[in-house]
Structure 1
Amino acid sequence: MLALFPWLADALTYRLLALDPGTRLAEAVHFFIEDTSKIFVLLILIVFVMGLFRTLLAPERVRQILEGRSRALGYVLAVTLGAVTPFCSCSSVPLFIGFLEAGIPLGVTMAFLITSPLVNEVAVVILASVVGWKLAVVYVATGLGVGLIGGVLIDRLRLERWVEGYVWQIRMGAVAVPGQAPGLGARVRYAWGEVRDIVGRIWLYVLIGIGIGAALHGYVPQDLFARYAGPENPFAVPVAVLMGLPLYSNATGIIPVAEALLAKGVPVGTTIAFMMSVVALSPPEFIMLRKVLKPALLVFLGIFLALAFVAVGLLLNGLFM
């Protein structure tokens, strides 16, 4: 199914618009078309499926299940689920909304939200095939660790007040599902209503984010990173994290860049810090997250992730020197 989106982008970019392959404009347009079509299809499917799920499982029951188990297990399940869902941060936003609507604690939800764009099984297999399983395992372990620590920290600080009010107002428990045992038609209508409501709230943020990402994707040269984040620079790791800020990609898409950086002698820790920054700390992601998180939580999340990625990079450089 996912092969349909590159095919569509190829057809529209190179045949309908007749742009020359390899040009910066063509790359930006191709990126925008592919990601727009893919993300909106995923958004609609995810929200629709979650809408159906909400008609089958009462929110209070979800809350009881979570409260009946240790919070530690909730974090483990959250980062595990985040690791096995092949969604970028854009697609994780509706899941984040759904988790909070179901009464799942913010810390557990944020652990998922941080981990989901960083790690997925497709990226792990590709990364292992390109640079080896050792680096792939290191990347997964550090990604899970960052998500787990971030969720616990947000939970301990009780930052629920920094989530947008409308998210709490449309919690599952406050949404009326018709009937005690609604039929399939009622369930489908309810789920489609959720699609119109949630996608209607975030579509503009998604388009803005993809537009920024497409422009940067097409016009920022890759060799810039190897020039300023090489092993001779004592500030290479912080520089790599900063250089990843304006870019936009998922964990799979950034792997070829990581391979090139490693081939040019950029240290392992610096490369992984850069990968994580691109995937989870880009302005397009935060533009999309702004729809559900208040500025204070966005600032907190950005500072935490930046410091965590720098720490990971420095640690791995020390271990792999």
Structure 2
Amino acid sequence: MTIATQRLKSGRDGSALRWYLGIAGASVIWWLAYGQLIAFSEWATTLFPVDRQSHTGEAIAFFFYDVPKVLLLLTGIVFVTGVLRSWFSPEKTRALLAGRRQIFGYPMAAALGVLTPFCSCSSVPLFIGFVSAGIPLGVTFSFLIAGPMVGPVGLGLLYGLVGWKIATIYLVFGFTIATIAGWALGKMRLERYLQAWVRDINAGPAGDLPRSGRVLPTG
């Protein structure tokens, strides 16, 4: 190994270490700030010449508690979503679903829809990519239904605002609805309504993950 290569590797290791330390420090700061929201709202309310027990005092306290809370939740969730998106690319998601039996495809597609943070603008290319990769329409619809309904951002906000019980109920119902709806749409055999160019389009490679290469039955 040459000196230049050693320096390059050392620089990369140093950058990664600073990155991890920065993430750990930011997480600690985020957690401490989140834990002081009530104290901050109470202190901010005392700056106004109003009775704390009045409706105006309650409204001010609520404002100074809820606004920073939502901003902190959005900051944390958007960062985690970005990390998830770097792991779950559309190609890898398509590869995970390709070659699966439909009985496992529906719940797996719904689970990937919950985990993968693809926005609504990605729905059309994802739909075309899934169909051209041989993934049945029912499985594709399970993924597309679960994504907007139970995305990681909405689920994280719901957990932070109303607690884990409501968030868990929402997750279970959203996952179940996406799975059943995809199964029902698959039984309707809607492939005949697809445009020919959608079926014939070449989706390209499905990523680094292995796939069987066979087209699943649509029934």
C-alpha contact 1:268 1:317 (8 A) present in aligned 2: yes
Secondary structure, in 3 states, of the residue corresponding to 2:161?
Answer: coil
Residue equivalent to 2:74 = 206
Residue equivalent to 1:316 = 185
Instruction: Provide the identity percentage.
Output: 13
Residues 1:200 and 1:312: Cα distance change in structure 2 (over 3 Å): same
Deviations 1:28-80 (A, max 9, x none): xxxxxxxxxxxxxxxxxxxxxxxxxxxxxxxxxxxxxxxxxxxxxxxxxxxxx
Secondary structure, in 3 states, of the residue corresponding to 1:278?
Answer: helix
Residue equivalent to 1:219 = 87
Secondary structure, in 3 states, of the residue corresponding to 2:119?
Answer: coil
Find out whether 1:229 has 2:107 as its counterpart.
Answer: no
Secondary structure, in 3 states, of the residue corresponding to 2:182?
Answer: helix
Residue in structure 1 matching 2:160, options 291, 308, 321? 291
C-alpha contact 1:281 1:305 (8 A) present in aligned 2: yes
- Aligned pair count reads 135
C-alpha deviation, 1:225, in angstroms: 2.7
Secondary structure, in 3 states, of the residue corresponding to 1:292?
Answer: helix
The letter of the residue matching 2:153 is P
Please say which of residues 286-295 and 305-314 is displaced more in the overlay: 286-295
Residues 1:176 and 1:307: Cα distance change in structure 2 (over 3 Å): same
Query: TM-score if structure 2 supplies the norm length?
Result: 0.53
Q: CA RMSD in A?
A: 2.7
Residues 1:231 and 1:268: Cα distance change in structure 2 (over 3 Å): farther
Residue equivalent to 2:30 = none
Residue in structure 2 matching 1:255, options 124, 136, 148? 124
**Unmatched 5+ stretches in structure 2:** 1-53, 190-217
C-alpha contact 1:230 1:266 (8 A) present in aligned 2: yes
Query: TM-score if structure 1 supplies the norm length?
Result: 0.38
C-alpha deviation, 1:290, in angstroms: 1.7
C-alpha contact 1:251 1:275 (8 A) present in aligned 2: no
Q: Distance in 1 between matches of 2:112 and 2:63?
A: 35
Q: Distance in 2 between matches of 1:259 and 1:207?
A: 32
C-alpha deviation, 1:317, in angstroms: 0.6
> Greater Rg, structure 1 or structure 2?
2
Q: How does 1:38-117 map to 2 (within 5 A)?
A: none
Q: Which runs of 4+ in 1 moved over 3 A?
A: 174-177, 192-198
